[in-house]
Homo-oligomer: A and B are copies of this chain.
Amino acid sequence: MNNKQKDIVIGMFGFGVVGEGLYKILQQTPSLNARIKKSCIKHPGKKRNAPEELFTTDKDVLLNDKEINVIVEVIDDSTAAFEIVSTALKNGKAVVSASKKMVAEHLAELLELQKETGQPFLCEAAACASIPVIRNLEEYYDNDLLHSIRAVVNGSTNFILTKMFDDKISFQDALILAQQLGFAESDPSLDVEGYDAVNKWVILLNHAYGIVETIDHVLFSGIQNIQLSDAMVAKEKGFDIKLVAQAKTLLNGKVAAYVLPEFVRLDDQLAFVKNEFNGVVIESGFADRQFFYGKGAGSLATGSAVMSDVSALRYGYKYEYKKRYHHTPKELTSEFYVRVYISFDDIKKFRKKILNGLKSGMQDWKEAT
């Protein structure tokens, strides 16, 4: 009950919207006892809202600074990010990362690194931004009791689908609007084709079930093929369409997990998740159905998640990976059925092209798993 807070001295990689957001938050929140000592950036020429002394282009200045005890990594390049994170952990620094792609790609290695070094690696911002879903899955819902998780984890695609539904505008127009409002990247394919969602899902499968898998073993698709007409069919029948990431425990104890656009009933909690928001529905043995909802995109929502990790580090928090180490981790299975809705303009084209495509797509996926 004494004041056990550690002072946090941060070396931050990246000073984009999230990085700058965090810099501002920490300046406005002295009670956090956390400051950014140095930020490593790629392009020193750019005008930035912070004193010049803050910046360096030499990563070793941060990684070798003994005073810096936390590395915050908010850069885009997942290869560089992994290098930074590994070195930081090996150099005895705690790490906070927002790079879902990096975490998803290097899950097994990151677990090893944390075991070896004993350093905390936190990444709440890597899934559902402002919703504290990773830590809640870590701390609650013992393995035997978690029935299912269903979630809208990608704000950009959810924004696009909402606009198609509510304003009846085409996929293309909705995408442009999302880009204009900053909810989608200039290259939106990572979001639109489901890569971002499945990266997040792989991370959550680890904290929920102790499953360590790559995206190659998770069935996923994005919303790239959804037309306004599909949205209207859904609406007519009393459904919404959402890009839903889900995982459920089957009767054999294995877990079926996938990310697919789905017809969602209007009284489903996920139908409540509009625009750039995210939502997670957790069904567990005794708590029944729980629903977490919050902003899933935007620099402040991401910044707030990074900050909550920094804040947790003051008290020495680290993921215990209980589901993996203290329980029998669950196994992923690809043996499950999904009911599929198919729309087409021309039955002949459908027969030839789409059925073949579907077949080879399923084949690819089966071979991969």
Q: Which residues of A are in contact with B by a Cβ distance under 8 Å?
A: 1-5, 21, 25, 28-29, 31-32, 114-115, 118, 130-132, 135-136, 139-140, 142-145, 269, 272, 284-295, 298, 300-301, 303-305, 307-308, 311-312, 315, 320-322, 325-328
Q: Roughly how many angstroms separate A170 CA and B139 CA in the complex, as a whole number?
A: 42
Q: Which B residues touch A303, using CB under 8 A?
A: 286
A36 to nearest B CB, angstroms?
Answer: 16
State whether A327 touches B31 (Cβ < 8 A).
yes
The 5 closest A-B pairs by CB, nearest first: A286-B304, A130-B287, A291-B293, A290-B294, A287-B304
State whether B320 touches A301 (Cβ < 8 A).
no
The oligomer's copy count stands at 2
| Chain B residue, CB-CB nearest to A115 | B1
State whether B1 touches A312 (Cβ < 8 A).
no
State whether B285 touches A304 (Cβ < 8 A).
yes
Q: Roughly how many angstroms separate A25 CA and B141 CA in the complex, as a whole number?
A: 13
Other-chain residue from B1, B3, B114, B294 in contact with A288 (beta carbon distance below 8 A): B294
Q: Roughly how many angstroms separate A321 CA and B315 CA in the complex, as a whole number?
A: 12
Q: Which B residues touch A311, using CB under 8 A?
A: 140, 142
Q: Which B residues touch A2, using CB under 8 A?
A: 325
Other-chain residue from B290, B294, B321, B325 in contact with A130 (beta carbon distance below 8 A): B290
Q: Roughly how many angstroms separate A302 CA and B115 CA in the complex, as a whole number?
A: 35
State whether B132 touches A140 (Cβ < 8 A).
yes
Q: Roughly how many angstroms separate A155 CA and B307 CA in the complex, as a whole number?
A: 33
A322 to nearest B CB, angstroms?
Answer: 8
